[in-house]
Amino acid sequence: MSLFIFYTYSGYNFLAKKNILNTIIFAFFTALLINAKILGLIPFTLFCLLYLYNYLNTKIKLIKNIKIFLFYLLFCITFIYLLWPFLWSSPFNNLLFAFKNILKDHENIIIINNYFGNYIPSNMMPWHYRLVWFFITTPVSIGLLFIGGLILSFKNKLILITKSLNDSFEFEKKQFTDLFLLLVFLGSFFIVLEFNKSKFGGWRHLYFLYPITIYFCIYFINFLLSSFLKTYYRLIIFCLIALNFGYNFLWSINNHPHQYIFFNLLVKKYAMNNFDLDWWGISHKSSIKYILDNDKSSKIKIYAIGFTSLRNSYLYLNEQDKSRVIISDYKNSNYIIDTKMKRIRVNYNLDKNNNFKLIYQLKSENYPISSIYKRIN
């Protein structure tokens, strides 16, 4: 996400002043973006196509702009190769391999997702899975502003493209940036929704698009402020936005360290019971601490049902606590931590199992996110 911000900013500077320094900086952040996540090829490709369309269509300073573009490509290829050792043995084949594999990411790992209250294997999830997760985990204010900005931008850019086809002219850097970000958002969502078949973990593969979400929020806010010129209208708009952002900020503080489990106000009550919560087992650390504080045994066998094992949380324990904890399996454990995350072929229903008793639930806003069961037989 951070790299995408640097990439976009350096691209904006490149469009504003196409000199060698800005070209090198832009190419460097392009390479870092692609090296960090192969999906960076999407904004890179869209930028190249839009740049070529802009100048081939208008033919304004065509030779100069094509030269600069070729320099940009040369520096991109150089930086990508130098910063990515995986490419050194076979640049083209390994790059193609990486791109194919990101689209097949985790195809062999099948997880059971809680989606609208139904437990569905990750390889059978409907196409709208990530789109739904994007909207239910985005604050209402940001979601509404984003939709408004996206629709407004789409309308304005459609008019702009139509005009450029009929009457050739060069896009201004802001027009270029708006259109580029719109294409990146829509293009990335389409490619991941269409080609990445194994779906789990929310919309994490598309987190780099969040800065674009904020960009279109600001785009729509500027539209509102320019439409309502009277001071008291502007004050009302500012207060509503400030209150909503203030609420989300305070909510994060009050729910620390489990603020990562967030659903917006429109769906919170339903989503907390019908969607996955602690996907990555962040609450395991707190659950282990509770067990250690309430069981003074020298050795305690603990097992976690879920996608993430206890090993990550185990590493954060002090040496004394580590010596007491044994990461066990289902059959031999003294305690089981259940975050309602299930792997396929694993079907535990501890609430109906006479061998275990529920002793504690870790909650966020009175909703259980992790349950601790103790073996009694």
Segment 147-187, tens digit of pLDDT: 999 999 888 888 777 777 666 666 777 888 888 898 898 88
Q: Which residues pair with 371 in a beta bridge?
A: 338, 361
Number of domains in the chain: 3
Range of the domain at 17: 1-103
d(CA 256, CA 273): 20
Is residue 104 very low, low, confident or very high in pLDDT (cuts 50, 70, 90)?
low
Does pLDDT of 339 surpass 90? no
pLDDT given for residue 352 in this prediction? 63
Q: Are residues 229 and 117 in the same domain?
A: yes
- In this structure, are 128 and 173 located in the same domain? yes
Range of weakest confidence among 97-106, 239-248, 334-343, 367-376: 97-106
Alpha-carbon distance 80 to 78, whole Å?
6
Contact (CB, 8 A) for 326 and 301: yes
Q: Of 246, 276, 306, which one is at a domain's C-terminal end?
A: 276
Note whether 49 and 139 are same-domain residues: no
pLDDT digits (tens, 9 = 90+) for 214-238: 999 999 988 888 887 777 778 888 8
Please, what is the Cα angle at 210 between 208 and 211, to 5 degrees? 95
Q: Across residues 58-81, what is the average pLDDT?
A: 87
The last residue of a domain, from among 78, 103, 128: 103
pLDDT at 329 over 90: no
Report the percent of the chain where pLDDT is more than 90: 29
Q: Taking 60 as the threshold, does the pLDDT of residue 343 lie above it?
A: no
**Three-state secondary-structure class, residue 371:** strand
Q: pLDDT at position 345, please?
A: 44
Residue 60 has pLDDT above 70, yes or no: no
Q: Are residues 3 and 54 in the same domain?
A: yes
Q: pLDDT tens digits for 252-266? A: 898 888 888 899 989
pTM of the predicted structure, to 2 decimals: 0.81
Over residues 340-367, the mean pLDDT reads: 73
pLDDT at residue 168, rounded to an integer:
63
Do 65 and 154 share a structural domain? no
- Edge-first strand listing for the sheet containing 342-343: 118-121, 111-115, 342-343
Are both 79 and 213 inside the same structural domain?
no
120 and 264 co-located in one domain:
yes
Averaged pLDDT, 29-51: 89
Mean pLDDT of the chain: 85
Residues 153 and 286 in one domain: no
Do 296 and 266 share a domain, yes or no? no
Residue 115 burial class via C-beta count within 10 angstroms: exposed 0-12, middle 13-18, buried 19 and up = buried
**pLDDT for residue 243:** 86
339 and 222 inside one domain:
no
Check whether residue 145 and residue 206 sit in a common domain.
yes
Of 86, 103, 120, which one is at a domain's C-terminal end?
Answer: 103
Q: Quote helix, strand, coil % in the chain, to nearest 5.
A: 60, 10, 25
CB 119 within 8 A of CB 348: no
Tell me: do 30 and 172 sit in the same domain.
no
